[in-house]
């Protein structure tokens, strides 16, 4: 539901990722020693920046979630949530309250909401957040995104990189795939917002999204996983 703590601006991270992919491509296609040297220099500079601004924060976020799994307090699923899941034709397995994270996410067919976030929401806004996560369970975006990367012909070009040095191949492929799946991440977030608006109400999901932005200056800030909150709200307002 919320963003990962990436560093730097989104546009800057996209440029750095593009430079990583470009340097790997140039290293592969050029045989001239000078061009290979220049490609290596560009790769190591851009790869270090990409690691610091994107990969490391993303991995740390996943590690925090994994290591803090003991902080999840599983609660009986309220009748309102059961009814909402039934209307959305989604089966929810468990509902958990995370004692430290200010976010909401799904884990399989379970939903986990941060206590700090929940404390800021009223009942309707909480249901809107849950409806958003139920949409993710129903649409299974992670599974679809993973499968879709194999269906896009251009992704096959990565195969030609397997003869490259391991570090260059790994970081180049990661940068390539993150850029590739960003539009799909945005699409599923917007669809989940639409589902929440449909089943709970536009105003409730809009106010819930605003509650996610502790720092109001970040309302216009997109990420690789989420479009900017302002864009999401405008998308909801356009619904009939």
pLDDT of residue 156: 47
> Which of 10-14, 25-29, 200-204, 221-225 reaches the highest mean pLDDT?
200-204
Question: Mean pLDDT throughout 215-233?
Answer: 86
DSSP state of 224: S
Residue 158 pLDDT > 60: no
150 contacts 26 by C-beta, under 8 angstroms = no
Instruction: Determine what percent of the chain is predicted with pLDDT higher than 70.
Output: 88
Residue 199 pLDDT > 80: yes
- Separate counts of helices (H) and strands (E) for the chain: 10, 4
Residue ranges of E strands in the chain: 72-75, 95-98, 104-107, 110-114
Residue 4 pLDDT > 70: no
User: Distances in Å between the alpha carbon of 231 and those of 7, 130, 228, 234?
Assistant: 20, 20, 5, 5
DSSP state of 155: G
* pLDDT band at residue 179 using 50, 70 and 90 as cut-offs: confident
pLDDT of residue 205: 97
* pLDDT band at residue 208 using 50, 70 and 90 as cut-offs: very high
Specify the pTM.
Answer: 0.84
- Output the average pLDDT for the chain: 87
Residue 220 pLDDT > 70: yes
Q: Among residues 213, 137, 172, which one has the least CA distance to residue 25?
A: 172
Residue 120 pLDDT > 70: yes
> Which of 46-60, 101-115, 207-221 reaches the highest mean pLDDT?
101-115
């Amino acid at each position: 539901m919320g963003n990962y703590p990436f560093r730097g601006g989104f546009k800057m991270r996209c440029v750095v990722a593009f430079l990583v992919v470009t340097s790997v491509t140039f290293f592969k296609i050029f045989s001239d020693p000078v061009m290979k040297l220049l490609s290596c220099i560009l790769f190591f500079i851009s790869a270090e920046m990409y690691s610091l601004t994107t990969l490391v924060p993303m991995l740390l976020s996943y590690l925090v979630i994994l290591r803090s799994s003991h902080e999840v307090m599983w609660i009986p699923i309220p009748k309102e949530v059961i009814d909402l899941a039934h209307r959305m034709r989604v089966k929810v397995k468990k509902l958990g309250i995370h004692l430290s994270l200010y976010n909401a996410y799904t884990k399989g067919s379970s939903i986990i909401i941060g206590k700090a976030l929940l404390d800021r929401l009223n009942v309707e806004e909480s249901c809107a957040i849950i409806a958003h996560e139920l949409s993710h369970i129903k649409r299974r975006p992670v599974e679809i995104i993973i499968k879709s990367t194999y269906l896009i012909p251009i992704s096959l070009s990565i195969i030609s990189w397997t003869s490259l040095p391991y570090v260059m191949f790994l970081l180049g492929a990661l940068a390539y795939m993150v850029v590739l799946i960003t539009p799909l991440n945005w699409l599923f977030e917007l669809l989940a917002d639409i589902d929440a608006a449909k089943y709970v109400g536009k105003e409730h999901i809009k106010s819930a999204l605003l509650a996610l932005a502790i720092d109001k200056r970040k309302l216009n800030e997109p990420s690789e996983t989420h479009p900017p909150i302002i864009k999401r709200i405008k998308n909801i307002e356009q619904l009939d």
